[in-house]
Amino acid sequence: MRTKRHLLPWLICLAQAAFVAPVQAQEPLKVAASFSILGDFVKNVGGARVDVATLVGPDGDVHVYAPPPADARKIADAKLLVINGLGLEGWLPRLLQASGGKAPIVTATRGIATLKLGSDADPHAWQSVANAKNYVVNIRDGLIAADPADAEVFRKNAAAYLERLDALDGEVRAAIKQIPQSRRKVISTHDAFGYFASAYGIQFIAPLGVSTESEASARDIAGIIARSRPRKSRPYSLRK
């Protein structure tokens, strides 16, 4: 009887440990994303299993971004870094060196057929839904490699997100179909919508190139006016 009495507390402790252990989930994977669009992709695929730190926020301009010292800490703390690539984050190499971070890097544009603007690749590849799906697949695979224990979560979230993107693609095509072919033109401040134009048959007219680092000249603006007037084009939007 005494032996059983001595064993009883140990049995209770073991039972409590067995009950509590499954509840104690591991910490979310720390992921740094170079700008907010990539951060949104990571959150949709990672869900509650990721803790995302975004460097360039939704109101920032990734072309001319100047990283503050806090960004080096975000990269140093990350277990995975997600970037666009194609030269979009020109400030990133110095930031990586300053941070000393050793996290694996996912280049979201890997495998995408890029468009050219002169001799340079157009880095705004997420503008078409087909390319956005490529981003999601690359991010999913990067998350799985960094956190295999949550692989099934990432696969499930990615599959659901890809379905939503397919639905979005259909909505975009249906909306554009309602616009007469001759009016499918948009005036933009810089030439950042090549992938959207190619995928959906929209003509973008812009005074600047792929980056926002330069300013439009009077000649640039005059050129846009000249291109619009003969076709009796309406200025549909002016976006950055």
Task: Give me the tens of pLDDT residue by residue for the chain, a chain 240 residues long.
Answer: 454 555 555 544 545 544 444 444 689 999 999 999 999 999 999 999 999 999 999 999 999 999 999 999 999 999 999 999 999 999 999 999 999 999 999 999 999 999 998 788 999 999 999 999 999 999 999 999 999 999 999 999 999 999 999 999 999 999 999 999 888 888 776 678 999 999 999 988 876 544 445 555 555 555 555 555 555 555 444 344
**C-beta separation of 102 from 79 below 8 A:** no
Non-local (6+) Cβ contacts of 196 within 8 A are 127, 128, 202, 204
Q: What is the strand order of the sheet 203-205 is part of?
A: 203-205, 185-188, 238-239
**C-beta separation of 80 from 142 below 8 A:** yes
CA 103 to chain centre: 18
CA 158 to chain centre: 13
Could you tell me the two tokens for 79?
């277990």
The strand pairing partners of 159, in sequence order, are none
Could you tell me the two tokens for 125?
């590849």
Sign (positive or negative) of CA dihedral 151, 154, 157, 162: negative
Planar angle of CA 136, 139, 144, nearest 5 degrees: 125
What's the whole-model pTM score?
0.79
SS3 of residue 91 by DSSP: coil
